[in-house]
Structure 1
Amino acid sequence: MKFNENVLANTLGSLGAVYYLVCYVVASVAPGLYKSVAASWMHMINLEGLWKRNPSGFILGLVSFTVVSWVSGWAFAKTYNYFLGKK
């Protein structure tokens, strides 16, 4: 089965934006939960002194995470299709 690069890229870009928004809401509503999960993902590194609320960073984070998700989807499909053709 061959992947359409743009369809997969759009799918992952959309999912990335949704994940980022959900993460932002959780961080706003339940910062303790957010910090606990983030610390567990970073092998329990204590970043307490670095946490800050920066609303202007929201847009930059949303856009950059969405773009990276889109590029990842496109690159995944392109690479998958390349190796699929090598059979």
Structure 2
Amino acid sequence: MRAHLLLAAGILGLIEAVAPGPLVRVLTRVAYRNAEDAEPKSWVLAAARIEGAVVVAGALVGLFRLANADGSKPNARDAGNYPTDSGS
């Protein structure tokens, strides 16, 4: 369930980072009664792009941590400490 939420947040953040204009228009229509009268400032689209990139990064970090949270400790092979054959 948590992975699904992180994936949904990542997809929404990607949409916001790539195409902030349509998303801002849709959310403005949802938030305001007279959305036709609302005009965003010039910095809103840049801020939406940055916010989208941050959400994508957070979702990726969360998914990565969730994938590596199996509770097992790394063994010698995972750490790159392969046993050597010094006896031969």
Normalised to the residue count of structure 2, the TM-score between the two structures is: 0.46
Bigger radius of gyration = 2
**Higher RCO (CA-CA < 8 Å; seq separation 6+):** 1
Normalised to the residue count of structure 1, the TM-score between the two structures is: 0.47
